[in-house]
Structure 1
């Protein structure tokens, strides 16, 4: 049944499909039209409400009528056993559960994400970035995604989970297979994506199950050992839950941080004066990254499932419908941000919603920020004159703002030169 909406004044054609070439190329422009003319817009294409204003998106994060348990309802609609199996496995992840299950999982996972532990990793992350940039320069690389943005978070997550360095490439491959499903690929998605994701999930689950067993026998100072705990907590994570948590941390930590680094580089090098200003003043790297997260954040859309009828800006939102929270619209809302489409290095920090809000705010946000800040600062410093060649080409997904590659040129610094 198509939702009933009140009469609205005549408006320009509204972008209804977030997967058209135009919307994929310029999601912010599409969101801006919706935000101005129909900020709570019913999309027949997606069969979902598109919400674009900052205050509405923030309120939605705290609205109990909107559930994060958004994968389980899709299982009844899925065609084929592989699709149902993939959705069944993902449905247990912390980010797609509601309290009280979410509260318990979040508390136990929080032991591995204590701020002091993450902050203590800065030196190691800097070393990894320097190694990757050394190799990029030595190989005369041109694709910054392949050379730096893509491998860095996979290495970091592998080390945090206590996995052997030799397994890093396997982590990256599994993350890619999951992205085919979790980020809502567009019409050009391969028809076997659920089968491939299932194979990757099952292989990954077997791997993490062995790693969990090893860490139960021989705990260390890694994140997985911290999530296992000492065994005295009656609500301690089961082996299945630990496997699911590892899968979530791998996928979310890898995909999001790769996109954050690549998008920040594209944004900050588009203006040579801005690029050089940030390069020459290390104190500006952090606010520059925050502005990049706001303007070209790694996630465009978060999905919620309606579990209770309610009204929003005159629209009747009904139980069983879906709501798409357009972060790309909220983060450029002129009612919240002055000159919302410009990079302002003096802007109040962290008022954006690039990492969500409330109980479902990204648990790994601090780690993603550190990796992005170190990667961007190092690249600007060691690759003077860094600039992107060509226009942005984003993957056709609903949720993520992902560049498969990022071809760059720079003035050239010999590998091994002073950092």
Structure 2
């Protein structure tokens, strides 16, 4: 039974609604070895939370794949596009362990201070309203992702880094190319995905190096200038690390925020009583965002590599193996959340782990929350007759929870 369940995790049915499959795994095989994924699938909240704190589970998850690919190649052959993509990503903060991770996160933390993100509320609200202005009076249907959820994060990131607003389309293209590799978006069958990602990475690398040089010469009030200025004693981020930080902010901030806004809006449209409640009680918006992240968050799975023998859920896990922490399953665990399949915008407490937990919790989580909160609040307020035009098609990806489009009638069905 469990073999059939895990084999469905990458199928179209699982992409559309993975939660019944997660429930089956939680009940019958909460820590299960999947031959299909060559990984342990961990689905209970308590086990996933424990895994985040387990030093035997490494977040340095790009380097082992790179080393394995190199070992399998011809000794004298030039590295392929896949190896070159992974080599460029291997030192990003999000895929490193202490002490390297500790140093990078400490130096980056100042640029992510709460007051800096909070100061962006007015700017983000203006950006959302500008995008929604373009929907007014249109009878639809239109794709809310293409119109709002997709362009917003790219524009915010460009603003934060001190880049020209007109460069946001380039940011979006680079993020999409990286998603082909990092999340398998579009399916693994796309044979050119590494070549496309490599081309995007090279363009992005050159762009950010030029931007770093410009900000070193002419600092501004942007986050990149703060990253350049941030130091502890004689330690500071070098140009390679600054470029990696920019790339990470671009990729992680764009993909996850787009999904958070789109998934949250869809959940509200599927639950009109909760949508009506949010319109009647706008003070619920902060709690609503947390519940929408728990209910159908942007990331389904986070990966870890095993570097020392450990135990999860009574199963022994050995060095060299891989672990998939299934956040989507943990956030619907009935042992942690009452009525977990019910959307309750006033749920409290709500200790979801949509952004991870522990030392590797998403450093940009506050920014993602801010963008999602403002976008959904403005959509709810300014589009009172918003209606779903068609059920979405979901991307067939193991790690991300993402739609292809979200077709809606902004002014209600004609």
How does the TM-score come out when normalised to structure 2?
0.94
Quick one: distance in 2 between partners of 1:23 and 1:299? 14
1:190-269, aligned counterparts within 5 Å?
190-229=190-229, 233-269=233-269
Q: Choose 183-192 or 19-28, whichever is displaced more.
A: 183-192
Q: Which residue of 1 aligns with 2:179?
A: 179
Which deviates the most, 280-289 or 376-385?
A: 280-289
Contact 1:306 1:318 in 2 (8 A): yes
Unaligned 5+ segments in structure 2 are: 74-78
Matched, 1:89 2:78: no
Q: How far off is 1:350 after superposition?
A: 4.4
Q: Per-residue displacement from partner, 1:174-220 (whole Å, max 9, x unpaired)?
A: 00000000113464541000000000000000000000000000111
**Residues 103/11 of structure 1: CA separation in 2 closer, same or farther (3 Å cut):** closer
Q: Which residue of 1 aligns with 2:31?
A: 40
Question: Aligned with 2:64: secondary structure?
Answer: helix
Equivalent position of 1:416 in the other structure: none
Does structure 1 conserve the Cα–Cα contact (< 8 Å) formed by 2:174 and 2:204?
yes
After TM superposition, give the deviation of residue 76 of structure 1 in Å: 2.5
Gap change, CA 1:232 and 1:308, over 3 Å in 2: closer
In the alignment, the residues of structure 2 paired with residue 258 and residue 333 of structure 1 have an alpha-carbon distance, to the nearest angstrom, of: 25
Distance in 1 between residues matched to 2:238 and 2:3, nearest whole Å: 53
Name the stretch that deviates more: 176-185 or 326-335.
176-185
- In the alignment, what sits opposite 2:315? 315
Conserved? CA contact 2:274–2:344, under 8 Å: no
Residue in structure 1 matched with residue 330 of structure 2 by the alignment: 330
Q: Corresponding residue for 1:404?
A: 404
Residue 303 of structure 1: SS of its match in structure 2?
strand
Q: Residue in 1 aligned with 2:101?
A: 102
SS of structure 2 residue aligned to 1:338: coil
**Map of 2:341 onto structure 1:** 341
> Which has the higher mean CA deviation after the structures are superposed, 178-187 or 189-198?
178-187
Q: CA deviation at 1:12?
A: 8.8
1:242 & 1:232 partners in 2: Cα distance?
Answer: 15
Judge conservation of contact 1:40–1:52 (CA < 8 Å) in 2.
yes
Runs of 4+ in 1 over 6 A off after TM superposition: none
> Which is further off, 191-200 or 285-294?
285-294
For the 8 Å contact 1:186–1:398, the answer to whether it is kept is no
The corresponding residue for 1:283 is 283
Shift of residue 271 of structure 1? 2.0
The structure-2 alpha-carbon separation of the partners of 1:309 and 1:103, relative to structure 1 and needing over 3 Å to count, comes to same
Aligned CA distance change for structure 1 residues 185 and 170 (closer, same or farther; 3 Å)? closer
Partner of 2:391: 391
- Shift of the 268–332 alpha-carbon distance from structure 1 to 2, 3 Å rule, reads same
Shift in Å at residue 13 of structure 1?
4.4
Q: 1:390 to 1:93 in 2, by over 3 A?
A: same
Say whether the 8 Å CA contact 2:160–2:223 is kept in structure 1.
Answer: yes
In the superposition, the TM-score normalised over structure 1's length comes to 0.93
Gap change, CA 1:174 and 1:13, over 3 Å in 2: closer
How far off its partner does 1:385 sit?
Answer: 2.4
Q: Give the aligned partner of residue 111 of structure 2.
A: 112
Q: State whether residues 305 and 323 of structure 2, in contact with CA within 8 Å, keep that contact through their aligned partners in structure 1.
A: yes
Distance 1:250 1:337 in 2: 33
CA contact (8 A) 1:265 1:376 kept: yes
How many pairs align? 404
**Could you tell me how far 1:232 is from its partner in structure 2?**
7.0
**Which residue matches 2:41?**
50
How far residue 295 of structure 1 moved from its aligned partner, in angstroms, is: 0.9
Aligned to 2:76: none
| Cα drift, residue 166 of structure 1 | 1.5
CA RMSD of aligned residues (A): 1.8
Change (3 A) 1:333 1:230: closer
Distance 1:24 1:231, change over 3 A: closer
Equivalent residues in 2 for 1:365-384, closer than 5 Å: 365-384=365-384
Residue 404 (structure 1) shift: 1.7
In structure 2, relative to structure 1, the CA distance for the partners of 1:12 and 1:193 (3 Å cut) is: closer
